[in-house]
Amino acid sequence: MGGPQGEGLLQTIPALALVLVFALTVPARAQPAVSAQPGLAGDGAFISGGRLLQMCQAQNPTCTGYVAGVVDALAPLSGPGGALPTNSLASFCAQKLKINQVIAEFQKFLKANPEGRETNAAQLVGDALHLAYPCGGK
C-alpha cells in the first residue's frame, strides 16, 4: 500500500474502528434490554447481519447508531476522490442520505440475501449501500 492513497487508507482504519466502537457502545447503554452481543461471532464480528436486522426491526437505537457509524466511516472513502475504487463493495455515491433510507436498504438487502445473516453487519450495510447507490466510473 505504498503512496499517498494507501497511507490515507491506513490512517482512516483507526478512525473507522473508533466510529464503530462509539456506535456500538453509546446507544447500547441507552437501551440495555436489546444490546449488542457481548462476544465475537465466528467471523470476528461483534454484530451479525441477522442481529442488526433484529435490532432494526425493533427500532432499537443501537441499530441507528451502528448504521450511522458505518455510513460515516465509509462516506469519506467512497465516491470521487475517495480511497475506495468505485467497484469496491464498500463504495457508494449518494449526495444526501437519511438514516431511515439506509436502514431500509440494509433490511431489503438482507431479506434478498438471507445467507448473509451470519456475516459481519458492517460489511452488509456497505454492500447494501453499494447496491442502492452505485458510483459512476472514476
Is 137 part of any domain? no
Is 138 part of any domain? no
Q: What is the DSSP letter of 120?
A: B
- What is 66-105 written as a DSSP string? HHHHHHHHHGGGSSTTSSS-TTSTT----S---HHHHHHH
Is 34 part of any domain? no
* Cα 44 from Cα 88, distance rounded (Å): 21
Is 35 part of any domain? no
Question: Do the Cβ atoms of 71 and 64 come closer than 8 Å?
Answer: no
Mean pLDDT of 2-30: 44
Q: How many domains does the chain have?
A: 1
Domain that holds residue 68: 3-29+47-132
- Say yes or no to pLDDT of 21 above 50: no
Is 17 part of any domain? yes
Is 38 part of any domain? no
Is 42 part of any domain? no
- CA dist 78 → 14, 58, 74 (Å): 17, 29, 6
Is 37 part of any domain? no
**What's the pLDDT tens digit per position in 58-117?**
999 999 999 999 999 888 887 667 777 777 777 888 778 899 999 999 999 999 999 989
